[in-house]
Structure 1
């Protein structure tokens, strides 16, 4: 965001002073500045995309690896533990049942974070000092001729 903000600020300066920029032929200088900031911004975006791809890959592979490791540990811990079809399919079905709530975990964390921020903002608003009653003008409005009285429609 920092790079994007600085690029937008520079572009606003360029657009606001375009006449002066053209008059003194400063286009190449400003072009280099904008390209430098944009390059930094693109590097940061690329790094973020790589991290997102890696985390998605890990998130997708984790259920398979957990199942594989669990069944491998079950078999290797004791010689009496034999992995037959019944135990394997029951284990696989239980892991698949657990996969659905775990896939909802990031949404839950995001929702809780947003709720926390919203509650803090509401709390800050409600904890603000009241308006000074002397600063508010209050006047009563008497009913006019076009006002409906109770029972009229």
Structure 2
């Protein structure tokens, strides 16, 4: 059970990585087509899918082995029961009454034994899903003081030597950046993909973890 749970956790992590990658590619499909990045990004998606398939094969093998064992369980139970009866009292042997009664009880148990592997597998999947939901709900909230509000300042947005990241433990996506935006001014943020344009906007909205510096807005 623990092994199946670990494999299910790995499988869901691989699925999350692949779906996140595909979602980002589809969101920026125009840029991908303009710069002809189809092969490069396609190879990355295929690599993520290969890792997912590797774990999926291990899960399938484990499920198949459990299904085979549970399918053989009724036969093994019958063999063990009658073997124990025969060797425990060889003088009397096994009567027809004992055989029919025992087989009746074993047939009643057969349906439960047949359903057991599916129930255990679903329980493991449910436990993994609950742990993932718990981890998501227990994530730390964004600190409200990431962006300061000062209605008395002259500029609309004032970013002073800011260093921030998307997660507290992640590497900084913006380092030592300072920006002053005047009220009524037209500002264009231009740069190649991955240069930090979206991160700059997220920092102004307070969606990044500020490690140093400050972001002040006049609203």
TM-score for the superposition, normalised by structure 2: 0.45
Aligned residues: 113
- Contact 2:74-2:113 at 8 Å conserved across structures: no
Q: Which runs of 5 or more residues in structure 1 are unaligned? A: 122-153
Structure with the bigger RCO (C-alpha within 8 Å, sep 6+) is 2
- Contact 2:73-2:113 at 8 Å conserved across structures: no
Q: 2:59 aligns with which of 48, 51, 72?
A: 48
Aligned to 1:26: 37
1-structure distance, mates of 2:106, 2:99: 11
Q: 1:67 aligns with which of 72, 78, 87?
A: 78
Deviations 1:38-66 (CA, angstroms, capped at 9, x unpaired): 11112222222222222222222111110
2-structure distance, mates of 1:101, 1:16: 48
Change (3 A) 1:11 1:56: same
2-structure distance, mates of 1:44, 1:25: 31
Q: Which runs of 5 or more residues in structure 2 are unaligned? A: 1-11, 135-219
Q: 2:104 aligns with which of 93, 100, 112?
A: 93
Find out whether 1:4 has 2:15 as its counterpart. Answer: yes
Change (3 A) 1:19 1:73: same
User: How large is the RMSD of aligned CA atoms in angstroms?
Assistant: 2.7
Q: What displacement does 1:36 show?
A: 0.6
Higher fraction of helix: 1
Aligned to 2:142: none
1-structure distance, mates of 2:49, 2:43: 10
1-structure distance, mates of 2:56, 2:105: 39
TM-score for the superposition, normalised by structure 1: 0.62
Higher fraction of strand: 2
2-structure distance, mates of 1:56, 1:104: 10
